[in-house]
Amino acid sequence: MKYFPVATDNLRVDTILNFKIYIRANNKFVLFRKGNHPFSEETLHRLQENKVHTVHVSEDDIENFEKYYYENVNKSNIKAEIFVPPFDQQENREKYYSLHLNYFPIERETLIPGFIVDFNVYGKNDLELDHILGPDREEGRPETIPEDIHESKKLIVIKNAEIPLYRKYLTQLTPERLNTKDISTELYYTLFRENSKLVVKEIFEDPRSGDNIQKATNVVEILVDNILNQENTFYNLMKIMSHDYYTYNHSLNVCSLSIGLGILRGLKRKPDLLELGLGALLHDIGNSMIDPCIINKPGKLTDEEYRIVQGHVKEGINLLEGIRNQIPQNSFFAILQHHEKLSGLGYPYKLKDERIHLFGRITGIVNFYDALVSDRPYKKALEPFDALKLMSDYQEDYDQCLMKDFVVMLGDQS
């Protein structure tokens, strides 16, 4: 019999559970409650007291559980991932952190058959790594990329320690080496995205470095030039598609979508777009000061952890204090206000309505959207349509004129 993990957050007090609940103990699944019984406050407390945050449902009850879930928990009819990965076990949590923090995701399109790699390439599937390519398989000898490299659909990652080798590899992908007159537009953007991701990663590792801010400014300038030149295709080409959540992917997505939304809102001057873009790229820079195990926690945050995460906004401003003169004043609005809400229910200052700067409103919408369409260990990415539908439930929080522009912008791309 197969058992599926379900977060206790997905059980509602005072409802009838029409499925059996099992608890995992010493690698066995033990029946905790029979089906068709009410789930009481007392039962929930008993689970919490024993630090049980995940229970299990057997495969013959899956349909009952799904029916219960859509009737009692997620009534929006938006398809959600309802079974949590097995992160309730310490061993799996450690594996997850080790993979997430020590490996860097790369785009498979940069691996061009016939080119030689002197770094190791792995396919990542949940908590497993599969060594696909590289010197560690060949007694230290570099390996040629095979023709069938793109057949695997797994996320491709490399070791953080081998990023310099990957960076060097990318510089060889020139038209001459590729035996073509021009690099295709798609490959051009893929390479630009990869290099930009590396720049953002460096900024997060050393946010006080003026050199890194200069590199970030260069990335934003190229983005702005490209978006101004080809408005309709660019956001799609820049978007890092549904991947595991990594701060640097998220930062780049928020940056390019914010610039696009800024243009639709009437910002046509390049200096304005540069200010918005840099602020959007750095909006979560404060996360670099927070324990990565909290930022990347594969599950729901405790109240205390949530308070720590909220601190990333002010941390970001403090971090950049020493290099303030290298960053335009208006860029700080994106960093400081991307979690504020028009209703006054945001943070850190609970600003309301017009007290939130345009850059704060733009990055607020884009930040929320990108979080919804990204995979997290405890939730699958929503489709863009479902994300926008869900956002329409928060009309008091987000500028509705901007929301309309945002929907138009995403519609134009698709």
Residues that bind Fe ion (CB under 5 A): 284
**Cβ closest to Fe ion, residue 135 vs residue 344:** 344
Shortest approach of Fe ion to residue 407 CB, angstroms? 22
Q: How far apart are CA 368 and CA 156, in angstroms?
A: 26
3-state DSSP call for residue 52?
Answer: coil
* Cβ at position 310, least distance to Fe ion in Å: 9
What is the closest distance, in whole angstroms, from the C-beta atom of residue 284 to Fe ion in the complex? 4
> 80 exposed, middle or buried (CB, 10 Å; 0-12, 13-18, 19+)?
middle
The string over 246-264, giving b where at least 16 C-beta atoms fall within 10 Å of a residue's C-beta and e elsewhere, is bbbbbbbbbbbbbbbbbbb
Written as one letter, the residue type at 261 is L
93 versus 283: smaller Cβ distance to Fe ion: 283
* CA 163 to mean position of chain CA atoms: 20
Q: In the complex, what is the shortest distance from the CB of residue 247 to Fe ion, in angstroms, rounded to a whole number?
A: 9
* Contact by Cβ (8 Å): 201, 240: no
Instruction: Report which residue's Cβ sits closest to Fe ion.
Output: 284
Residues 6+ apart with CB under 8 A from 378: 7, 81, 84, 85, 87, 298, 299, 300
Nearer to Fe ion, 18 or 310 (CB): 310
| 108-139 CB burial, b ≥16 within 10 A, e <16 | bbbbbeebebebbbbbbeebebeebbbbeeee
Please say which residue, 194 or 397, places its beta carbon nearer to Fe ion: 397
Q: Which residue lies nearer to Fe ion by CB, 265 or 312? A: 312
Residue 170 or 309: the one with the smaller Cβ distance to Fe ion is: 309
Distance CA(167)–CA(389), nearest Å, equals 39
- Of 17, 86, 100, give the one whose Cα is nearest residue 53: 86
The least distance separating Fe ion from the CB of residue 44, rounded to whole angstroms, comes to 31
DSSP code at position 303 = H
Least separation in angstroms between CB 387 and Fe ion: 17
CA-to-CA distance for 138 and 159, rounded, in angstroms?
17
Nearest distance in Å: CB 363, Fe ion = 9
Question: What is the distance, to the nearest Å, from the Cα of residue 363 to the centroid of all Cα atoms in its chain?
Answer: 15
Instruction: Report the residue number, 121 or 220, with the smaller CB distance to Fe ion.
Output: 220
Instruction: Decide whether 198 or 295 has the Cβ nearer to Fe ion.
Output: 295
> Minimum CB separation from Fe ion for residue 338, in Å?
6
Question: Least CB distance from residue 365 to Fe ion, whole Å?
Answer: 13
240: CB partners within 8 A, 6+ apart: 193, 197, 249, 252, 253
Q: In 72-209, which ranges are continuous DSSP H helix?
A: 90-102, 163-171, 185-205
If the CB atoms of residues 68 and 368 are measured against Fe ion, the closer one turns out to be: 368
The minimum distance between CB 283 and Fe ion, in angstroms, equals 6
Give the residue among 386, 389, 257, 270 at the shortest CA–CA distance from 334. Answer: 257
Nearer to Fe ion, 54 or 287 (CB): 287
Q: How far apart are CA 255 and CA 278, in angstroms?
A: 7
Token pair listed for 186: 């798609």
Taking the least distance from each CB to Fe ion, the nearer of 57 and 240 is 240
* Intra-chain end-to-end CA distance of the chain, in Å: 42
User: What's the closest the beta carbon of residue 294 comes to Fe ion, in angstroms?
Assistant: 13
